[in-house]
């Protein structure tokens, strides 16, 4: 890779970490979904750039899948779901933003500390990419932990999956079949979760997942 | 050597003369965007002259601090603004023109301003000082992180070397620089009491910060503080231009044409940045005071993220 190509790859992968932070920061529902769409678009560009740089045409298909499913279909479906649930204007945040951001920073630092020593033999960009991918995964997990609303948790899960795709493209070894099946399983997971959303709402009149704790008898 | 002195002196005069003009131009553009005619772009000069001629009323229980604070604020801001290479690099004091020095000078000015707000003992002044300090506790670390990121690139905290490096061919495309730029813009908005944080056009709001601290000032004291405020705006725009858009600046000792080009480029950069500032200000609503720490926290986060990403790309190579 020439320095410029590395720089652009670094720029795109770094932007994904930044957009993950935006997801953590945003507490308005429809803006959250839009930022998730942005996350997937940046992922698609990043994967397409990798496809171009590594001259691996099958990665273009991965990029196209990410763009079509996670950049368009899922955000549009989520917008419809939140409108139908009547929560598209809701604002929510369990832990306040400051501590969450600090925690996210700590997670990014952690993933760098973990990834840098174990990937010493790999090339420069692969190391960077894996460190970023791990931090995106951890930030997605953090988002799932800090959100109380089930839709927020879904978006956390989907952004986590974006991180996995980023890791897979950097590693240069993931077969196309696996990627396609992962993409479809995510879509199926999304459909199942979407159905569950409506079931949860039917039973508890809200998509606040604390209601589930009560039905399990965990808290009064 | 002598060229350095002349240029440094020209720079001192230039920032002082340009600062009210910059405020006037931004106010004028702002009025135009709001479909008002707006005052002349020279109105800030007239305001300053009017204030200087007026009697300075000082509260009975004001101490000596209240009287010297405006001059201290003005002096530190002026020195800081004169240290930034605007139209020409290689000024006499460029050895001292460290970004950290500039941050420290601005910190000193803020310290005096907050003390002056507390001095008379009115509730508004105290309120303004406490808010200013709350914002500063986030804005200053964010600013320092931006400085660290940029100086890691350039290998120096000296402004002239940073701007030479940024104009040079070694600089690549980097997300860290973009993050540092956004963080610096957020800090600049907060420090200059611009719209999402504070409203510069009002004296009558409960949420005002800067105006609350200087509420007791009048006459020449107020004139000096106003001049310092417009100098500070010029300083931040020049800092952004110097670190992120250092094209066209000449070296001290070049010929007249180079100086003219440098001056023209500087005026153009200020105009572009000022216009961008005004467009941003008219497009966005003012935040609640308690949202501001989140806004500034974002700057801090961006600065930190920029430094971390830079670290990753350095370690992995």
Query: At A219, is the pLDDT very low, low, confident or very high (cuts 50, 70, 90)?
Result: low
Query: At A121, is the pLDDT very low, low, confident or very high (cuts 50, 70, 90)?
Result: confident
Question: Which residues of chain A are at the B interface, by a Cβ-Cβ cutoff of 8 Å?
Answer: 3-4, 7-8, 10-11, 14-15, 17-18, 21, 25, 97-98, 101, 105, 108-109, 112, 116, 124-125, 127-128, 131-132
Q: Using alpha carbons, select from B79, B16, B8 the residue that is nearest to residue B252.
A: B8
Separation of alpha carbons B249 and B166, rounded Å: 12
Q: Indicate the average pLDDT of chain A.
A: 83
Could you tell me if B294 lies within 8 Å of chain A, comparing CB atoms?
Answer: yes
Contact predicate A147/A139, CB 8 Å: no
Q: Between chains, do A128 and B175 touch, taking CB under 8 Å as contact? A: no
Kindly report the backbone phi and psi dihedral angles of residue B217, in degrees, each rounded to the nearest multiple of 5, phi listed first: -85, 150
Q: Which residues pair with A149 in a beta bridge?
A: A208
Q: What DSSP line would sit under A59-84, residue for residue?
A: HHHHHHHIIIIIIIIHHHHHHHHHHH
**Least Cα separation, residue B302 to chain A (angstroms):** 8
Could you tell me if B284 lies within 8 Å of chain A, comparing CB atoms?
Answer: no
Contact predicate B6/B256, CB 8 Å: no
**Least Cα separation, residue B296 to chain A (angstroms):** 10
- Alpha-carbon torsion, ordered B166, B194, A21, A89, to 10 deg: -150
Kindly report the backbone phi and psi dihedral angles of residue A209, in degrees, each rounded to the nearest multiple of 5, phi listed first: -75, -5
Question: What number of CA atoms fall less than 13 Å from residue A175's CA on the CB side?
Answer: 3
State the DSSP code for A217: T
Contact predicate B257/B104, CB 8 Å: no
Cβ-based contacts of A3 with chain B (< 8 Å): 172
Tell me how many residue pairs between chain A and chain B have CB atoms under 8 A apart.
Answer: 60
Q: What is the pLDDT of residue B252?
A: 63
* Residue positions counted in chain B: 317
Q: Between chains, do B175 and A10 touch, taking CB under 8 Å as contact? A: yes
* Residue positions counted in chain A: 220
State the DSSP code for A28: B
Which member of B174, B178, B316 has the closest CB to residue A127? B316
Tens-of-pLDDT digits for all 317 residues of chain B?
Answer: 677 788 888 889 999 999 999 999 999 999 999 999 989 999 999 999 999 999 999 988 889 999 999 999 999 999 999 988 888 877 777 777 889 999 999 999 999 999 999 998 888 889 899 999 999 999 999 999 999 999 988 888 888 888 888 887 777 778 889 899 999 999 999 999 888 888 777 766 677 788 888 888 999 999 999 999 999 999 999 999 988 988 877 776 677 888 888 889 999 999 999 999 999 999 988 888 888 888 898 899 899 989 888 888 887 66
Separation of alpha carbons A138 and B10, rounded Å: 54
Nearest CA in chain B to A12: B175
Separation of alpha carbons B292 and A189, rounded Å: 38
Contact predicate B316/A124, CB 8 Å: yes
Q: Between chains, do A7 and B172 touch, taking CB under 8 Å as contact? A: yes
Separation of alpha carbons B97 and B159, rounded Å: 6
Cβ-based contacts of B297 with chain A (< 8 Å): 97-98, 101
Cβ-based contacts of A18 with chain B (< 8 Å): 175, 179, 302, 305
Separation of alpha carbons A108 and A105, rounded Å: 5
Q: Between chains, do B305 and A101 touch, taking CB under 8 Å as contact? A: no
Which member of A7, A101, A109 has the closest CB to residue B297? A101
The H-assigned helical ranges of chain A are 3-25, 29-53, 57-65, 74-85, 97-118, 124-146, 150-171, 176-204, 210-216
pLDDT exceeds 90 at position A6: no
Tokens of B62: 């004001």
Q: What is the pLDDT of residue A172?
A: 66
- Helix, strand or coil, per DSSP, at residue A220: coil
The whole model's pTM is what?
0.87
What is the SS3 string spanning chain B? CHHHHHHHHHHHHHHHHHHHHHHHHHHHHHHHHCCCCCCCCCHHHHHHHHHHHCCCCCCCCCCHHHHHHHHHHHHHHHHHHHHCCCCEECCHHHHCCEHHHHHHHHHHHHHHHHHHHHHCCCHHHHHHHHHHHHHHHHHHHHHHHHHHHHHHHHCCCEHHHHHHHHHCCCCCCCHHHHHHHHHHHHHHHHHCCCCCCCCCCCCCCCCCCHHHHCCCCCHHHHHHHHHHHHHHHHHHHHHHHHHHCCCCCEECCCCHHHHHHHHHHHHHHHHHHHHHHHHHHHHCCCCCHHHHHHHHHHHHHHHHHHHHHHHHHHHHC
Q: Count Cβ neighbours within 10 Å for each residue of A111-147 and write b for 16 or more, e otherwise.
A: bbeebbeebeebeebbbbbbbbbbbbbbbbbbbbebb
Cβ-based contacts of A105 with chain B (< 8 Å): 301, 304-305, 308
Tokens of A96: 């306040």
Could you tell me if B307 lies within 8 Å of chain A, comparing CB atoms?
Answer: no
Q: Using alpha carbons, select from B302, B307, B144, B142 the residue that is nearest to residue A22.
A: B302
Which member of B173, B308, B312 has the closest CB to residue A11? B173
Which member of A11, A109, A112 has the closest CB to residue B175? A11
Q: Which of B176, B295, B312 to mutate to test the interface with A (most CBs of A within 10 A)?
A: B312
Nearest CA in chain B to A6: B173
Which member of B176, B301, B315 has the closest CB to residue A116? B315
Contact predicate A176/A61, CB 8 Å: yes
Q: What angle do CA A50, A52, A58 make, to 5 degrees?
A: 80
Q: Between chains, do B173 and A101 touch, taking CB under 8 Å as contact? A: no
Query: At A127, is the pLDDT very low, low, confident or very high (cuts 50, 70, 90)?
Result: confident
Task: Give residues with Cβ within 8 angstroms of B54, minimum separation 6.
Answer: B218, B219, B220
Q: What is the pLDDT of residue B48?
A: 94
Contact predicate B284/B186, CB 8 Å: no
Nearest CA in chain A to B307: A109
Q: What is the pLDDT of residue B310?
A: 87
């Amino acid at each position: 890779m020439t320095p410029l190509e590395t720089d652009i790859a670094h720029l795109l992968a770094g932007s994904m970490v930044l957009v993950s932070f935006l997801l953590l920061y945003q507490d308005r529902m429809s803006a959250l979904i839009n930022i998730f769409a942005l996350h997937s678009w940046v992922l698609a560009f990043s994967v397409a750039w990798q496809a171009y740089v590594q001259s691996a045409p099958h990665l273009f298909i991965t990029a196209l899948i990410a763009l079509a499913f996670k950049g368009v279909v899922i955000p549009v479906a989520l917008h419809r779901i939140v409108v139908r649930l009547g929560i598209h204007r809701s604002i929510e945040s369990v832990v306040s933003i400051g501590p969450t951001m600090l925690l996210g920073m700590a997670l990014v630092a952690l993933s760098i500390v973990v990834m840098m020593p174990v990937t010493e033999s790999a090339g420069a960009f692969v190391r960077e990419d894996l460190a970023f991918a791990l931090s995106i995964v951890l930030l997605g997990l953090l988002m799932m932990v800090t959100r109380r609303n089930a839709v927020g948790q879904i978006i956390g899960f989907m952004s986590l999956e974006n991180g996995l795709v980023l890791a897979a493209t950097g590693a240069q070894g993931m077969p196309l079949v696996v990627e396609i099946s992962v993409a479809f399983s995510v879509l199926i997971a999304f459909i199942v979760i979407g159905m569950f959303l409506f079931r949860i709402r039917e039973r508890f009149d809200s998509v606040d997942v604390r209601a589930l704790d009560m039905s399990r008898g965990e808290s009064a | 050597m002598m060229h350095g002195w002349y240029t440094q002196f020209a720079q001192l005069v230039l920032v002082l003369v340009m600062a009210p003009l910059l405020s006037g131009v931004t106010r004028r553009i702002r009025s135009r965007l709001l479909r008002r005619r707006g005052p002349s772009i020279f109105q800030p000069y007239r305001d300053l002259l009017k204030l200087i001629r007026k009697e300075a009323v000082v509260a009975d229980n004001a101490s000596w601090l209240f009287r010297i604070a405006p001059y201290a604020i003005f002096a530190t801001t002026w020195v800081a603004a004169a240290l930034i290479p605007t139209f020409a690099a290689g000024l006499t004091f460029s050895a001292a023109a460290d970004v950290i020095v500039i941050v420290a000078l601005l910190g000193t000015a803020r310290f005096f301003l907050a003390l002056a707000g507390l001095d008379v003992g009115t509730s508004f002044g105290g309120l303004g000082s406490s808010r200013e300090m709350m914002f500063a506790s986030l804005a200053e670390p964010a600013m320092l992180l931006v400085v660290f990121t940029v100086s890691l690139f350039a290998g120096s905290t000296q402004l002239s070397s940073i701007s030479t490096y940024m104009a040079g061919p070694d600089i690549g495309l980097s997300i860290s620089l973009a993050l540092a730029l956004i963080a610096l813009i957020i800090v600049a908005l907060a420090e200059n009491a611009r719209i999402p944080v504070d409203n510069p056009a009002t004296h009558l709001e409960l949420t005002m910060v800067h105006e609350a601290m200087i509420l007791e000032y009048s006459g020449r004291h107020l004139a000096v503080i106003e001049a310092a405020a417009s100098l500070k705006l010029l300083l931040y725009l020049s800092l952004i231009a110097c670190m992120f858009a250092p094209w066209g600046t000449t070296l001290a000792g070049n010929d007249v044409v180079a100086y003219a080009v440098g001056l023209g480029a500087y005026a153009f950069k200020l105009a572009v940045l000022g216009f961008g500032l005004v467009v941003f200000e008219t497009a966005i609503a003012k935040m609640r005071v308690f949202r501001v720490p989140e806004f500034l926290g974002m700057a801090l986060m961006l600065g930190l993220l920029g430094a971390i990403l830079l670290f990753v790309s350095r370690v992995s190579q």
